[in-house]
Each structure stands twice: as C-alpha cells, then as structure tokens.
Structure 1
Amino acid sequence: MGYTLAFGSLMLSAEHVADVYGRRRAFLSGAVVFPVAVVIAFLALLLVLPIRALGRVGGAER
C-alpha cells in the first residue's frame, strides 16, 4: 500500500514537472538523479559494516 501511494503521488508530481519544463528535460533529470541515488545507497550499505565495527571496537575499550 505504501509503495502504491508513494508511486502515485510522485507520478502526479512528475507529470506537473514535465508539463512545466518539458518531457525531455524531466526525463533527463530523472535519468541523472536515479543513478546518483543508487550509487549513494550502495556506498551507504558498503560503509555500514565498517562503521558499526569501528563503533564496537570503540565500545569495547571502555
């Protein structure tokens, strides 16, 4: 349900952006934002374990 609600609301927003700025510009901005977000999410996952391990080491020194 949450996915459908988020998708529907973003679809309406994307339609408005496409109407205002043009479909090509809206598509290209989405084509740039999506891969950047994927890379950021990948880096966040990649860094979670080392940061948690560092926190455990710091906590063990008490």
Structure 2
Amino acid sequence: MWEQLRLNHYQFQRERLLRQQQVNVRRIHDLERKIERLQAMPSNEGRSKTIAHLSKRLVAALT
C-alpha cells in the first residue's frame, strides 16, 4: 500500500513537472513571437518600451 502510494506520488510529480515545462516552452515562444512582431514594425517610444519589457520577461523565463 505505501509503496503504491509513493509510486503514485512520484508519477504525479513527474507529470506535473512535464506539464509545467510545456507551459514554460509555450510562454517563451509566445514572448519571442511578440518581440519579433513588434521589432518588424516601425519604431516608436511606446513600442520600444514594450519590447524592452517583453525582453526582460523572456530573460526571466529562460532562467
């Protein structure tokens, strides 16, 4: 009984970590796409600030 409980716990933890990793990868790709889209547009002050903000979020997501 305890062995099965332990195995279920570790399996649940592993699945949770895999789902979290998938979410993080999606978030990183989303940030990269947003930054690329904004960089392709003409530059202005608001857009530059948004790009800087998104870039900081990207760096934080990568660490």
With normalisation by structure 2, the TM-score equals 0.48
Which structure is higher in RCO with an 8 Å CA cutoff and minimum separation 6?
2
Higher helix share: 1
With normalisation by structure 1, the TM-score equals 0.48
